Amino acid sequence: MAYVDFITQVHSATPRDYIGRVTAADKAHCAEKALEWGHDYWDGDRKYGYGGFHYDGRWRSVAEKMVEHYQLPANARILDVGCGKAFLLYEFTQLLAQAGVTGLDISKYAIDNAKEEVRESLVEGPAHELPFEDDSFDFVVSINTLHNLPNYELWQAVREMERVGRGAKYITVESFRNEREKVNLLYWQLTCRTFHAPEEWEWVFEQTGYTGDHGFIFFE
């Protein structure tokens, strides 16, 4: 299990007004809307979530780095847990000619509005109950999803990723290295249920028997 950073370049490309997130609207109401995982969260006003989650090619470089780092074969079977609109999965299909991709997300809206080329490969469902056989995938990835689960589902979700993966695995979650980053995370988040410093996350990974790699995003 190693720390590998694939995501900071995407995360840091978006400016964030932490104070404005708290003061500009009724944040409790915004969080309630975000947790519906519908239009408001993905494509509504920024106060409810992404403010428009559209394909712009930014995930191509992430997919390229993952393919190179893990030496994924052209026919790799790949699962994205919390795939959203499946932009990352689409990029894998462009890089690996015979890849078999599968995505799972709790949001029916995200799946219905996912990248058309991979939409039929997506499944609606929770991260802690993966509807796949043991050792089904060469690469299992989860980006910015597992921190949205309460602890009793989080631990099971990590174990599920371990169960269905026969090869490399990678998780990225939100975290904080100091009090400023913790405050910024609390100001910005709408859906987060699990708040851990890096060493706490690493302890969770060890306790659940996770053998893959991990990364963090920080709100500096």
Neighbours of 56 (CB within 10 A): 8
Judge whether 214 and 4 are in contact, CB under 8 Å.
Answer: yes
Judge whether 143 and 7 are in contact, CB under 8 Å.
Answer: yes
At residue 115's C-alpha, the angle toward residues 112 and 117, to 5°, is 110
Judge whether 166 and 138 are in contact, CB under 8 Å.
Answer: yes
Judge whether 53 and 144 are in contact, CB under 8 Å.
Answer: no
Domains (ranges, CATH) in the chain? Answer: 8-175+188-217 (3.40.50.150)
Judge whether 104 and 122 are in contact, CB under 8 Å.
Answer: yes
Question: What string of pLDDT tens digits covers the 220 residues of the chain?
Answer: 899 999 998 998 888 999 988 888 899 999 999 999 999 999 999 999 999 999 999 999 999 999 999 999 999 999 999 999 999 999 999 999 999 999 999 999 999 999 999 999 999 999 999 999 999 999 999 999 999 999 999 999 999 999 999 999 999 999 999 999 999 999 999 999 999 999 999 999 999 999 999 999 999 9
Judge whether 21 and 47 are in contact, CB under 8 Å.
Answer: yes
Separation of alpha carbons 34 and 23, rounded Å: 17
What pLDDT was estimated at residue 166? 97
In the chain, the amino acid numbered 21 is: R
pTM confidence score: 0.96
What pLDDT was estimated at residue 1? 83
Judge whether 197 and 175 are in contact, CB under 8 Å.
Answer: yes
Q: Could you report the per-residue pLDDT of 99-115, keeping only the tens digit for each?
A: 999 999 999 999 999 99
Query: What is the SS3 string spanning the chain?
Result: CCECCCCHHHHCCCCCCHHHHHHCCCHHHHHHHHCCCCHHHHHCCHHHCCCCCCCCCCCHHHHHHHHHHHCCCCCCEEEEECCCCCHHHHHHHHHCCCCEEEEEECCHHHHHCCCHHHHHHEEECCCCCCCCCCCCEEEEEEECCHHHCCHHHHHHHHHHHHHHEEEEEEEEEECCCCHHHHHHHHHHCCCCCCCCCHHHHHHHHHHCCCCCEEEEECCC
